[in-house]
Each structure stands twice: as C-alpha cells, then as structure tokens.
C-alpha cells in the first residue's frame, strides 16, 4: 500500500536499473516507520545490507587492498546507486569519520539517513571486521532504543552531521580476503561500466563541494581540480546548466 501511493516509485521498482526519486524514497521510509510502529525502521532496514548489494561495484570493493581504497571506489560510483546524497571522508589525528549528507532538503529524511548509516556500518564491518566507536545522528533519538543494534558504539543524537566515527588509521585496514588478481579483472569490467554513462555535472560538483567543505579547502579552483577541469572550463559548463560554483 505504501509503494502504490507513490506512482513514480511503483513504476520504477519494476525496472532493476531504475532510480527512485529521493523525495519518494524518503517519504516511503517515513511512512513505513509509522505503519509498523517502529521508529527504528531505517536502522533495521540498513542492517540488512551487504557489500553484494552493490553488484559489480561490491565485488570490486571486496577485493580492494584497504578500506580507504574500497571507500574511494564507492565514492566514485555512488551516483549510480544514490542520486541526491554524498559520501565524504574526514581524517583527523585521532579519528576518522565516514559521513553521509543529503544534497537536497532533508527535513523528513530521518529514516533514510539512519538507514544509510546502518548500511555503512555493515559494509565496513563486512570488509574489515571493524565497528564504529561512535555514530553521530543529525536527528532526534528514536522512541525505540537502538543501542542493541550497536552495542559497541557510542550513539550521539542531534549531532551536526550523520557519520560513522572510527579510530585513527581504520581506513588503512586491509580488506579481509581481498584477491588482487580478481580485482584486476573486475577493474576492466568497472571501466566498461563507467563508460555507460556519468553523473550530471551539477551533482558531481555538489559532491565535490561537500568533501572540500569538510576538508576546509572550499574554493572555486579546488572544486575545478576535484572534478579534473580547468576553473574556466567548469564555469562555462555550469553556465550551460544555468548555475555557478557559488550558487
């Protein structure tokens, strides 16, 4: 009944290569939480995720030498699986944060964002066996306790960001069972996969801005370098879309 109320989603779910509009997806998750009476619905759904859910990309990540490389693989291809959201990495002296941010209005995306964090924690655990020492939620605490889902992690609510916080050097942890030869073969398939299409330039720039904001290196020149373009070339291409780096 929930899906049927969203006409676009109902149609797109029949297409394995289709994209659900973020507005529909966030609304469906919020409605599902209400319908089930489970304020932790997003968490429960996210914890069902696994690396294999990413298909070819998941296989590529599973054979990465380190978690950092696997996350880089995911960030570079994230737009193929989720449009309207961005992953970012924040390296500090004593901890490392894997963050998640919606690029559009997120006032009703509590369940979606919690789902993303739970899914992310499962991916890291599957690849390395490491659990987050802290999980930051930029929302209120659910009415249902979720501590049992993350018994070894400190949970912080109403944070400034959604993010999984790990001990320093976690990103350099080797991926368990990685096969370099298998990754090399998969790399060729990934290249053919990438040639099938790319993200909208505006979306690429938004994702670059998120990472540069976190790194406190946000300038128009750095945005251009991040997307491998000259600043004037980027400005010209964005102008064709009726926008600029600053807007």
Q: What is the mean pLDDT of residues 221-246?
A: 79
Measure the CA–CA gap between 173 and 167, rounded to whole angstroms.
11
Q: What is the pLDDT of residues 103-127, one digit of tens each?
A: 766 557 899 999 999 999 999 999 9
State the DSSP string of 175-197: PTT--HHHHHHHHHHHHHHHTT-
Q: What is the pLDDT of residues 139-158, one digit of tens each?
A: 999 988 899 999 999 999 99
Measure the CA–CA gap between 203 and 79, rounded to whole angstroms.
8
Q: What single DSSP character describes residue 142?
A: P
In this predicted structure, the answer to whether residue 7 has a pLDDT above a threshold of 60 is no
- Find, among 13, 19, 185, 210, the residue nearest to 99 by Cα: 210
Residue in the block written with tokens 């300038």: 219
Contact 45/152 with Cβ under 8 angstroms?
no
Residue in the block written with tokens 């096969």: 179
Q: What is the pLDDT of residues 28-64, one digit of tens each?
A: 899 999 999 999 999 999 999 999 998 889 999 999 9
Give pTM, 2 decimals. Answer: 0.80
- Across the chain, how many H-helices and E-strands are there? 10, 5
């Amino acid at each position: 009944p929930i899906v049927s109320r969203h006409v676009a989603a109902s149609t797109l779910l029949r297409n394995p290569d289709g994209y659900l509009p973020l507005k529909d997806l966030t609304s469906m998750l919020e409605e599902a939480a209400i319908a089930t009476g489970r304020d932790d619905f997003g968490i429960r759904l996210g914890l069902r995720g696994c690396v294999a859910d990413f298909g070819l990309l998941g296989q590529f990540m599973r054979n990465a030498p380190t978690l950092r490389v696997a996350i880089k693989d995911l960030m570079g291809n994230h737009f193929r699986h989720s449009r309207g959201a961005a992953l970012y990495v924040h390296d500090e002296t004593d901890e490392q944060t894997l963050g998640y941010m919606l690029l559009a209005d997120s006032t009703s995306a509590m369940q979606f964002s919690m789902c993303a964090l739970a899914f992310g924690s499962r991916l890291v655990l599957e690849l390395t066996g490491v659990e987050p020492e802290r999980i930051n939620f930029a929302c209120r605490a659910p009415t249902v306790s979720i501590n049992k889902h993350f018994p070894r992690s400190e949970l912080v609510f109403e944070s400034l960001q959604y993010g999984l916080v790990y001990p320093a050097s976690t990103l350099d942890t080797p991926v368990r069972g990685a096969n370099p030869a298998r990754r090399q073969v998969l790399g060729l398939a990934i290249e053919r996969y990438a040639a099938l299409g790319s993200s909208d330039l505006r979306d690429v720039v938004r994702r670059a801005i998120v990472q540069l904001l976190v790194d406190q290196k946000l300038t128009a020149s750095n945005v251009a370098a991040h997307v491998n373009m000259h600043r004037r070339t980027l400005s010209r291409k964005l102008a064709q879309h009726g926008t600029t780096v600053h807007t």
